[in-house]
Amino acid sequence: MNHSSPWVGLDTQAPASPDTGVGGFPCVVDVERTSRAVLTRARNAVAILVAIGFLAGSCSTPPRESASAGKPSCCLTNLAPSAPFTDKSLYQLDSIWTNDVGQSITLGAMRGRLQVVAMFFTRCTVACPIIVHDLKRIEAALPKDLQSKVGFGLVTLDTEHDTPEALHRYREAAQLAAAQWTLLCGTPDDTLELGALLGVKFKREVSGQFAHSNLITLLDENGEIVYQIAGLNQDIQELVTLIRRGVR
Amino acid sequence: MVRRKTFHWAWLFFCAIALLNPLQAELEVIAPPGMVRVPGGVYRPLFRSNSDAREIPVAAFALDIHPVTNAGFLDFVRANPRWRRSQVKRLFADENYLKHWAADLEPGEAASMNAPVTWVSWFAAKAFAAWAGKRLPTTVEWELAAAASPSQPEGENDPEFKKLLAVWHSSPSPERLPPIGTGRANYFGIHDLHGLIWEWVADFNTAMVTGDARGDSGLERQLFCGSGSLGAKDVGNYAAFMRFGFRSSLKADYSVHNLGFRCAKNL
């Protein structure tokens, strides 16, 4: 529970299939399983790190790069993992999230790239498709060489229905490239907290739909909020310009 | 043989648990020290869009009798250095955090030990609650508990109570807050839900006002425009309007001079 602690990324030990381990359950992280996974991984990681240490010096080696090969790569960071997060970095949150292939990650895993993030839910028929469309517009407006340097994040508000599988189906239906897009679900509490940080207000309605703010947030490499677009179908030019400038 | 015996014991154990379970449930309804049990009930939201429920069922829960004091919060920051004024991260509390305290571990003149702690962010309140093995109450829980007047669980039937609330809401908070527990307890035995400070709730950011998807500008009018209150459930409940307006104006890192908290717990 140390907010200033360096980035910790947690992988479930499952290396592969999208539905490993989390099938059918609401998106709540199984802490026991995760900690077991950490132990297993820790043992492996020590061996690997020792080896790397001999070969190259371990300072700049992100511990989870190899693990995320072939996965939606939210996590290819260039920064030394031990550098503390800045004071206003969202990445200080300890909360553990699950992506659409069932990996557990902390938000700190997104460090090192600019991120354009929004909160949504997959069953949303009104606003969210437009939010996602807006994110795609931003992606399309970027020059090719920048596209790989920017991540897009969607975090669900519907912690009950949006399981990793549901998110994965959404990714496929909406054709969100694995290399750029990260889809996450978390516990209700953590989701509320992230909403509070981003300024996204939301409320579940009787119908199971959510009333929610429409906000697109640009985070810098350190996870600090640099710019927000409120509303749907807004002008994206300012945000795109900020990304082009590399936001420092 | 041994195997069969194990099997037998397992069954016995299982039956014992099954028998004891109702008993245990019976025991659990007693609130922990410093808290009271608020029986479950139905909360009728003040503001509703067409898609909102008319009534929200609330399960029984435990709520602190008093708001958390400066003394209580001092224990917390002693045990959790990263929540001390000099060490807290800006993400989790703005620069006003605990600004009335004399020093990191010294509430001092402006914050008497017995007064409710204020100038604390939502994150800090939440961290305190977790540290105490509790949680923040939800909006509906808080409102259900706060609806009670000294004499009855549904204070809206008590004109005297409503008048008192209106008086408090129209008078500014004193510079130096008085101690907790000086007012009358409400029907459930809870103190200071009104008349002393505002309080954080876990889901403060569900009070929708701006930037919403579906025409909540209507809701916004209801909140802030005087005539809009005619459309709400209970036009006499001025205090509840104030709370909703206030909550929707908050951000999670805000630290405010008259905003504190108390904790809740599941039963």
Q: Is the pLDDT of residue A232 over 80?
A: yes
Measured in angstroms, the CA of A26 and the nearest CA of chain B are apart by 20
Instruction: Evaluate whether residue A5 is within a structural domain.
Output: no
- pLDDT of the residue at B14: 61
Residue boundaries of the structural domains of chain B = 34-266
Q: Is the pLDDT of residue A35 over 80?
A: no
Q: Is A201 on the interface with B (CB under 8 A)?
A: yes
User: Does B202 contact A90 at a Cβ distance shorter than 8 Å?
Assistant: no
Q: Is B111 helix (H, G, I), strand (E, B) or coil?
A: coil
Instruction: Characterize the bridge pairing of strands B198-199 and A210-212.
Output: unpaired
Q: Which of B51, B126, B251 sits opposite A207 (nearest CB)?
A: B51
pLDDT band at B157 (very low <50, low <70, confident <90, very high): confident
The verdict on domain B34-266 having CATH code 3.90.1580.10 is yes
* Per-residue pLDDT tens digits for B70-90: 999 999 999 999 999 999 999
Q: Which of A3, A4, A215 sits opposite B211 (nearest CB)?
A: A215
Contact between residue A147 and residue A160 where contact means Cβ atoms under 8 Å apart: no
- pLDDT of the residue at B116: 97
Q: Which of A32-46, A205-219, B10-24, B169-183 has the lowest mean pLDDT?
A: A32-46
Measured in angstroms, the CA of B65 and the nearest CA of chain A are apart by 24
Q: Which of A151-160, B96-105, B135-144, B203-212 has the lowest mean pLDDT?
A: B203-212
- pLDDT of the residue at B21: 56
User: Does B248 contact A201 at a Cβ distance shorter than 8 Å?
Assistant: yes
Q: Of residues A122 and B173, which shows the higher confidence score?
A: A122
Q: Of residues B263 and B223, which shows the higher confidence score?
A: B263
Q: Is the pLDDT of residue B134 over 90?
A: yes
Measured in angstroms, the CA of A210 and the nearest CA of chain B are apart by 9
Q: Is the pLDDT of residue A243 over 80?
A: yes
Q: Which of B90, B122, B214 sits opposite A211 (nearest CB)?
A: B214
Q: Is A77 on the interface with B (CB under 8 A)?
A: no
Q: Is A175 on the interface with B (CB under 8 A)?
A: no
Measured in angstroms, the CA of A215 and the nearest CA of chain B are apart by 8
How confident is the model over A37-56, as a mean pLDDT? 43
pLDDT band at A7 (very low <50, low <70, confident <90, very high): very low
- What proportion of chain B, given as a percentage, has pLDDT over 70? 75
- pLDDT of the residue at A10: 39
Measured in angstroms, the CA of A218 and the nearest CA of chain B are apart by 16
- pLDDT of the residue at A33: 45
Q: Of residues B210 and A153, which shows the higher confidence score?
A: A153
Residues of chain B contacting residue A209, judged by C-beta atoms under 8 Å apart? 51
Interface list for A 132-161 with B (CB within 8 A): none
User: A158, A192, A204, A214: which to substitute to probe chain B, counting the most B Cβ within 10 Å?
Assistant: A192
pLDDT band at A167 (very low <50, low <70, confident <90, very high): very high
User: Does B91 contact A214 at a Cβ distance shorter than 8 Å?
Assistant: no
Contact between residue A146 and residue A244 where contact means Cβ atoms under 8 Å apart: yes
Q: Which of A66-70, B169-173, B188-192 has the lowest mean pLDDT?
A: A66-70
- The DSSP-derived string for B112-141 is -TTSBP-S--HHHHHHHHHHTT-BPPPHHH
CB-based burial label for A217 (10 Å; 0-12, 13-18, 19+) = buried
Q: Is A89 on the interface with B (CB under 8 A)?
A: yes
Q: Is the pLDDT of residue A6 over 60?
A: no
Q: Of residues B53 and B29, which shows the higher confidence score?
A: B53
Say how far apart CA A194 and CA A186 lie, in whole Å: 10
Say how far apart CA B124 and CA B92 lie, in whole Å: 7
Q: Of residues A115 and A80, which shows the higher confidence score?
A: A115
- pLDDT of the residue at B173: 73
Please state the ipTM of this predicted complex: 0.73
User: Does B251 contact A199 at a Cβ distance shorter than 8 Å?
Assistant: yes
Instruction: Evaluate whether residue A4 is within a structural domain.
Output: no
Instruction: Characterize the bridge pairing of strands B198-199 and B259-260.
Output: parallel
Q: Is the pLDDT of residue A24 over 50?
A: no
* Phi, psi for residue A184 in degrees, rounded to 5: -130, 145
List the structure tokens of A6.
Answer: 């360096």
The pLDDT mean for chain B works out to 81
- pLDDT of the residue at A50: 38
pLDDT band at A211 (very low <50, low <70, confident <90, very high): confident
Strand partners of residue A185: A98
The pLDDT mean for chain A works out to 75
Measured in angstroms, the CA of B132 and the nearest CA of chain A are apart by 15
In terms of phi and psi (left: phi > 0; alpha: psi -120 to 50; beta: otherwise), the region of A233 is left
Q: Is A215 on the interface with B (CB under 8 A)?
A: yes
Instruction: Evaluate whether residue A96 is within a structural domain.
Output: yes
Contact between residue B31 and residue B266 where contact means Cβ atoms under 8 Å apart: no
How confident is the model over B111-119, as a mean pLDDT? 96
How confident is the model over B22-31, as a mean pLDDT? 57
Q: Is B64 helix (H, G, I), strand (E, B) or coil?
A: strand
- pLDDT of the residue at B16: 60
**Distances, alpha carbon A154 to alpha carbons A116, A181, A240, B135, in Å:** 9, 8, 18, 27
Q: Is the pLDDT of residue A105 over 60?
A: yes
Q: Which range of residues forms the domain containing residue A184?
A: 31-245
User: Does A87 contact B213 at a Cβ distance shorter than 8 Å?
Assistant: no
Domain with residue A180: its CATH number is 3.40.30.10
How confident is the model over B168-188, as a mean pLDDT? 84
- pLDDT of the residue at B29: 64
Q: Is A230 on the interface with B (CB under 8 A)?
A: yes
- What proportion of chain A, given as a percentage, has pLDDT over 90? 48
DSSP state of B179: P
Say how far apart CA B138 and CA B117 lie, in whole Å: 19
Q: How many domains does chain A have?
A: 1
Q: Is the pLDDT of residue A180 over 90?
A: yes
